[in-house]
Structure 1
């Protein structure tokens, strides 16, 4: 076995890992990438240090390079745990206390490696072995070495467990992404276990060489499956902190992520997994969320959708806001702006707008309740309001297919579209007959003025003035009559 060849392989592996660090730094806001970069940097220290250790010919120089290696090796447990913790967003077990404990052990490891000659707690003895054909350190492990290995195994077990859980919760190409990451993490674990069990070349640590295998696995996941954008939005910081539903879809129409509010808005999401088709969301399958109109009526609720394209991550984010209450309030305001609250008829302004919009010949009728002031003075305003309300209902029932309004005070107006003067007169007489039977307690009668309206022969306002003049003529002639 050639120490130069082994060193070259380690340098090449370090160069590949260095590319991952650069790639990751450009995407450092993606969950887990920051600790991914630190972990890769630690592996570079390990690989480069071990490469020069293999090229050294004395124990003192070799141990200097071991100190370089342990700038990275010491913190493997902490970095592996943090990378998996951030990537999978599992923080219930790997809480602040556990993470702080692991970091403290790692810092002690680095200190003990640098001061080993004074206590031999990490390496109980250091010698040089020439049996492989080149000088190599023969190290006997001390008590703290066993502690460091325990925490390393603990972190790796945690990492594999949370990745396995994430693997189970995903499907499709996203399952492959996690699978390659899992394979990449597992490769160094296997070689490390073989080394610890003495099932490899004597005193030759094969773990740094497994980084080469790991780098290939990560390369496949990174560039073929775009591994680091599996979960480009942190649920904890964004997804779970807002009241809107957030759906993240990749360029292939697959779900990258969704928050808990999404499941409340669209219940079928509760049965879906990351990596499944966006089209499987039952509530949204008949809606085009990229249409010009962002408002959609879904299962009796009204939602406003905002689409955000993130070209750097090749995903599209849909943010849905439940605007049912505000839309209902808006409709209510529209009603209040067009309807007279007492009678339920249109108000005067909206009545005129509707007539002009309708654009048809017809007959205008203006109706005034006779001696209405006497009703208010005699029975009170409450009774007066009741009379107005009842009369409004009577007008709606008599002219259901025509536009009517409360013209002002005790006056009402009706526009009978495409109706002749004679037919309109009969309809108003019908109203008189119903009124004589419907509101007896106050003996309310009404006077009415009528006029024809022809498009092009004058304005709506002019026609209403003529009808109003006919109304006053009816009053002057004794009330309780209709004037044409």
Structure 2
């Protein structure tokens, strides 16, 4: 193995990493990808610089290429930490103070490398060694070199710890993706340890060669598992800050992410992990979240779902809002707007609206409680209200398949759609029998008037006037009578 072969290998590795950077920059909005691309760019500087360093034969030429290498290598600690911080959404430990401190150490490292001949704080000495069979830089580590390696080790350990934690909370193909990321991160770590412990070839830095292994690992992950869309939604920054449930699935119906509110809405999520099938959410398995009607009744609560399709068609997002209270309030308002609060029958306005949609033929019945005023005068209004409620309930029981209302005061109306006059009379007569058989103290009889209605032969109002006239005719006949 000679220096030319090693240099060519490093150039090939740099080319592979360069392609990955270009691909990644097109998806830089994905969490962590921006800093990952910067880290890859830093590795390109390191690899290319070291390739030409291996081709050099003088200390000055080698030192020139070392300065090129450290344009990237100086910032490894900061870039590794920022990639992991953004990728895993972990900002409690890697806060602004910590990352700023690491960045300052990296800047100082770059300055000290460029000015090493004035202070020898990074390399205490530099020379040329020919023992590998070709000239290599023989350097001795200075004080700041040790500090920089310490900070780099700290960043790497932080990255490994966070990725392992994330690995434990994932499953399926998403677990495979994280394994590939860990392999990519671990390869340079292993070679760096070999170099620092002096277990490899003397003065030959193997770390840049590990970037080749890392680029292959990530390339496999990119084309087979699509690492760059591993976690495309920043649920730590966005999911946890809203009061709606957010569920994210990929094109294979696997869970990509969900926020804490989702677990409150759908408790079975507590036992699920990223990468498991969306169908395992027990509360949602019988619901089509893509149907036109967004409201779903789930476990006694009402949820409104909004489905969002990403342009790439890789990700589906479902946002669920708990609208139970608002739906109940809306339902209550609808009841108040259409129903008589005392009897539970429809009010007159809604009755008139509904009649128009009930059919083209039928019979109107208008009923009036006989001598109702006596009830109020003798027993009081509370007893009068009870009588009205009881009579309204009796109407509902007798005409469950027809629309009825409290027409006004002690008057009630029923429209028997698709019913002849004779049949209507029998139905009203059965109501009168029920009312008489269940007569209680204070209960009253009623009079009724019936009128046929047929669309095209008159209006609803005209039919109601005729029924009202028949009602007064029944009153004049002594009450407790039905006229038609």
Q: TM-score, normalised by structure 2?
A: 0.91
Map 1:36-75 onto structure 2 (within 5 A). Answer: 36-75=36-75
For residue 359 of structure 1, what is the aligned residue in structure 2?
A: 359
Q: Please state whether the residue corresponding to 2:289 is helix, strand or coil.
A: coil
Change beyond 3 A, Cα 1:480–1:292: closer
For residue 16 of structure 2, what is the aligned residue in structure 1?
A: 16
The answer to whether the 8 A contact 2:436-2:445 is kept is: no
For residue 437 of structure 1, what is the aligned residue in structure 2?
A: 440
Q: CA deviation at 1:256?
A: 1.4
Q: CA deviation at 1:448?
A: 2.9
Aligned-partner Cα distance in 1 for 2:239–2:100: 27
For residue 6 of structure 2, what is the aligned residue in structure 1?
A: 6
For residue 423 of structure 2, what is the aligned residue in structure 1?
A: 420
Q: CA deviation at 1:39?
A: 0.5
Aligned-partner Cα distance in 2 for 1:446–1:293: 45
For residue 182 of structure 1, what is the aligned residue in structure 2?
A: 182
Q: Please state whether the residue corresponding to 1:139 is helix, strand or coil.
A: strand
Change beyond 3 A, Cα 1:222–1:326: same
Which is further off, 422-431 or 321-330? 422-431
Which is further off, 281-290 or 374-383? 374-383
The answer to whether the 8 A contact 2:121-2:145 is kept is: yes
Unaligned ranges ≥5, structure 1: none
Q: CA deviation at 1:350?
A: 2.7
Aligned-partner Cα distance in 1 for 2:207–2:110: 19
Q: CA deviation at 1:187?
A: 0.8
- Number of residue pairs the alignment of both structures matches: 481
Q: CA deviation at 1:145?
A: 1.0
For residue 216 of structure 2, what is the aligned residue in structure 1?
A: 216
Q: CA deviation at 1:186?
A: 0.8
Q: CA deviation at 1:452?
A: 4.0
For residue 269 of structure 1, what is the aligned residue in structure 2?
A: 269
Map 1:388-399 onto structure 2 (within 5 A). Answer: 388-399=388-399
Q: Please state whether the residue corresponding to 2:286 is helix, strand or coil.
A: coil
Change beyond 3 A, Cα 1:215–1:429: closer
Aligned-partner Cα distance in 1 for 2:244–2:31: 21
Map 1:84-99 onto structure 2 (within 5 A). Answer: 84-99=84-99
The answer to whether the 8 A contact 2:394-2:431 is kept is: no
Aligned-partner Cα distance in 2 for 1:197–1:183: 21
The answer to whether the 8 A contact 1:113-1:122 is kept is: yes
For residue 251 of structure 1, what is the aligned residue in structure 2?
A: 251
Q: TM-score, normalised by structure 1?
A: 0.91
Q: Please state whether the residue corresponding to 1:234 is helix, strand or coil.
A: coil
Map 1:127-276 onto structure 2 (within 5 A). Answer: 127-276=127-276
Change beyond 3 A, Cα 1:424–1:189: closer
Q: CA deviation at 1:425?
A: 5.1
Q: Please state whether the residue corresponding to 1:149 is helix, strand or coil.
A: helix
Map 1:275-424 onto structure 2 (within 5 A). Answer: 275-312=275-312, 314-359=314-359, 362-370=362-370, 385=385, 387-400=387-400, 402-416=402-416, 418=419, 420=423, 422-424=425-427
Q: CA deviation at 1:152?
A: 1.1
The answer to whether the 8 A contact 1:421-1:452 is kept is: no
The answer to whether the 8 A contact 1:363-1:424 is kept is: no
For residue 460 of structure 1, what is the aligned residue in structure 2?
A: 460
RMSD after superposition = 2.6
Unaligned ranges ≥5, structure 2: none
Aligned-partner Cα distance in 1 for 2:130–2:467: 120
Change beyond 3 A, Cα 1:429–1:380: closer
Q: Please state whether the residue corresponding to 1:365 is helix, strand or coil.
A: strand
Which is further off, 264-273 or 111-120? 111-120
Q: Please state whether the residue corresponding to 2:8 is helix, strand or coil.
A: helix
Which is further off, 44-53 or 308-317? 308-317
Q: CA deviation at 1:428?
A: 4.8
The answer to whether the 8 A contact 2:395-2:431 is kept is: no
